[in-house]
Chains A and B, each alone.
Chain A
């Protein structure tokens, strides 16, 4: 993605309105051996028109967070606490019917498994038509066809698939259908959960570009979930780094890549492959603790190269260490004058 398309971080979210505000969201899965704390108290804001990347290794709770925001958690999962503010109201404190009316009109999803996300016994056009007509009422056949073909054009789909069934489409095409569906009602927020991971690399690029183009054209805010830091860096404005159910850092792409705050972010960035230099892989193992019984204190302590005594006792609060960069780590201490220092700096140059 060229720099021209991607707006600079600062311009994207300063003075912008908050469209989605997630507060202390916790989603647990019940298992015979206790609750899996899949999402354990995440906070973040999504600003008007921005794309926020949510990254972290597989199993860290990205999809669960997305489903929590969308109110699509099904047993054995449950939302323990949290607030999800969208357009002035809290999705978690709403009746089923109020929520249903806000689905898709305000908050749409581009699903993780696009291969199987379309109803196999329904024509493509019908699956877009049903969501339009559910929320906007019955439409004339010609009008709806015109509108769906327009959506197809926006995402680069040929009109001939209108009457086709999902099994007649390639993976990339199905993903585009999902994108077309997501923008059908012009929502405020779109959540894309690893929407390109299942595709091969070339198609992945093209679909990702389509997604960004459409997003730019509509000015919709987006949460883009992925595990590939490199790919993310090219597509999003800010990145939230997730580890074992916690957001450990949220920062603009430039800030994060230039000076990652959290040791885990550092690890992720150092493991982004590069053609110009070969380096040993930094990430060697996944989440090491039992997700049912996380250690007290910092969630990353077992893998952190800088672990201190305090980390084993006290959960670090998330603090702004630099403009547009918030980190949850004891390495950063607030001074009396309000400035933030990195304790490693004190240690090395007293």
Chain B
């Protein structure tokens, strides 16, 4: 515990940047290993749909020149890395001349807002339910109801999303069907906008919570049962401590530690895991952006979003690494 040692922090930051560098390299390399090039592929597609594209050779050459695809690979690579530092991922092929950064800047806040809130709520609810599921003093009725609620866990999130959409938006009309906010309202810090955002976010968030809280509940229950058998639990009971105090100070406090580690990993896969949920609700976040990019074979966007996702994962792991000694006194910075 105590302040983070300087050289540990430096080493850990070094690993963070190295991870990002390697990931960036792989993202750059993979499309270049594939046969053909994206522009030819795009023109081919246009040819297929439109029947004939005039001067396609000229267009391809022009675009290749514009995107720098004619330069030698090392030059492309160095330029690519340089651009990354300034978060410049180039232009979207599908929405030219919008840049990838602009698209991400529009989408990321929505996703972070929706998903971070949804998974945090999921984590809290799941662990709470898991804990009371394992607690011997929980009323029996509650202990029967929770597993019942967990049947949602076995439903894919897209089905849950469709189900919620049908019931609460289509049949009951309690929530809007699509989008991130009402078209008429002006984005900003006004009540109308905020309430519109909450209304639009509720169903997507609910479909995420519903299908994944069981995962945390089961994990937590397992950890609680393991801890139930620990020697220190015996002593805690012999000490005549109050039951609720034992629950949170001896059991939950210890059982939550591996859950927090798992949560950090989940944060990394957050966006990619919920692409379809966003898509179903036409929610203008990273998920929809990625989905569109894949459908349109918009390489620049795929590259840019992948990079952002990797940075997010690495960041989550970095934060948890730095914060872990604060929650588990047995772990110290630098593993000593």
Contacts and interface: CB of A to CB of B under 8 A. Distances in A.
B240 A165 contact: no
B239 A103 contact: yes
A131 B232 contact: no
Interface in B227-245: 230-232, 234-242, 245
Contacts, number: 73
B238 A105 contact: no
Interface stretch (B213-221, B246-254, B292-300): B246-254
Contacts of A72: 234, 237-238
A100 B242 contact: yes
A293 interface: no
Given A111-B231, A111-B235, A134 B240 contact: yes
B239 A119 contact: no
Contact of A121 (B238, B239, B245, B253): B253
Contacts of A205: none
A94 to B, nearest CB: 12
Contacts of A121: 253-254, 257, 328-329
A100 B241 CA distance: 7
A118 interface: yes
B231 A116 contact: yes
B230 A116 contact: yes
A134 B240 CA distance: 8
B234 A111 contact: yes
A120 B232 CA distance: 9
B224 to A, nearest CB: 14
A197 to B, nearest CB: 14
B232 A165 contact: no
Nearest to A168: B329
A147 interface: no
B329 A120 contact: yes
Interface string B117-137: 000000000000000000000
B66 interface: no
A170 B231 CA distance: 17
Contacts of A131: 239-241
Contact of A113 (B231, B245, B328): B231
A105 B241 CA distance: 11
Interface string A171-215: 000000010010000000000000000000000000000000000
Interface of B: 230-232, 234-242, 245, 249-250, 253-254, 257, 328-330
10 contacts: A103-B239, A111-B235, A113-B231, A115-B231, A116-B230, A119-B236, A119-B250, A121-B329, A122-B250, A134-B241
The 7 closest A-B pairs by CB, nearest first: A103-B240, A116-B231, A113-B231, A165-B329, A109-B238, A131-B239, A117-B231
